[in-house]
């Protein structure tokens, strides 16, 4: 059909999450039809990110500078540290703009099944950050999965000797959640954590 070069571009796009072969071809056509408005901006954005890409040596965030924009931000509260599994979790939390502190990315979760042990995660660097002092609260913002919660429990044990407040995200009904469509686990958590009506 199209030339090898176009097929190569469609192939590279098709490997992005959220794009399959068909939508990748539509994206290629879109780019080829809008050379100035779409292809060039994407190309230069990719080039810039590719040149400056780095992992923050403090928190593990990926950014175009090290330390990352969050670690460098003087308006961030140094005394609050939010521990997350992945960079995508950091981004998701930070989009909400509700957490004023800094982050620590573990790079995964403990998993007996997948053979992920504490030494495979950025646990020691977390312990060192907390041991260095100046932190009042550590939010263990793991996913609400079995492995996420196992990881949170492990970290809580490792951190309990330090004078910090350990917290975790609340479990319960998601906003807009309908009881009829929620799984029993969520319902059980929401019921257990029920609060008096204000």
Of 11, 43, 10, nearest to 28 (Cα)? 10
Distance between CA 121 and CA 107 in Å, rounded? Answer: 6
Measured over all CA atoms, what is the biggest interatomic distance in the chain, rounded to whole angstroms?
A: 66
Q: How far apart are CA 174 and CA 140, in angstroms?
A: 19
**Stated length of the chain:** 198
Could you say whether residue 26 binds its own copies (CB under 8 A)? yes
By the rule CB under 8 A, 19 interacts with its own copies = yes
The stretch among 4-12, 119-127, 133-141, 163-171 that binds its own copies (CB under 8 A) is 4-12
Give the residue carrying structure tokens 């403990």. Answer: 110
Task: Convert residues 133-172 into a mask of x (bound to its own copies by CB under 8 A) and - (unbound).
Answer: ----------------------------------------
Binder among 45, 131, 173, 193 for its own copies (CB under 8 A): 45
Smallest separation, CB 73 to its own copies (Å): 11
Range 87-126, binding its own copies (CB under 8 A): 87-88, 91, 94-95
- Least gap, CB of 98 to its own copies (angstroms): 12
Cβ(134)–Cβ(78) under 8 Å?
yes
How many other CB atoms sit within 10 Å of the CB of residue 164?
17
Residues in binding contact with its own copies, number by CB under 8 A: 52
Provide, rounded to whole angstroms, the least separation between the CB of residue 57 and its own copies.
16
């Amino acid at each position: 059909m199209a030339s090898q070069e176009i097929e190569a571009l469609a192939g590279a796009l098709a490997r992005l999450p959220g794009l399959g072969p068909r939508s990748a071809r539509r994206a290629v056509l879109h780019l080829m039809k809008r050379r100035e408005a779409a292809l060039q901006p994407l190309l230069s954005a990719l080039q810039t990110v590719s040149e400056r890409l780095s992992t923050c040596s403090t928190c593990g965030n990926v950014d175009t500078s090290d330390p990352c924009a969050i670690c460098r931000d003087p308006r961030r509260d140094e005394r609050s540290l939010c521990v997350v599994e992945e960079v995508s979790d950091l981004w998701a939390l930070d989009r909400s703009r509700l957490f004023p502190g800094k982050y620590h990315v573990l790079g995964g979760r403990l998993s007996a099944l997948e053979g992920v042990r504490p030494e495979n995660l950025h646990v020691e660097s977390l312990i060192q950050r907390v041991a260095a002092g100046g932190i009042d609260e550590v939010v263990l913002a793991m996913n609400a999965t079995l492995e996420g919660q196992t990881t949170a429990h492990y970290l809580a044990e490792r951190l309990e000797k330090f004078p910090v407040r350990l917290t975790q995200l609340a479990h319960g009904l998601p906003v807009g959640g309908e009881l009829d469509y929620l799984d029993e686990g969520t319902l059980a958590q929401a019921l257990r954590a029920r609060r008096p009506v204000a």
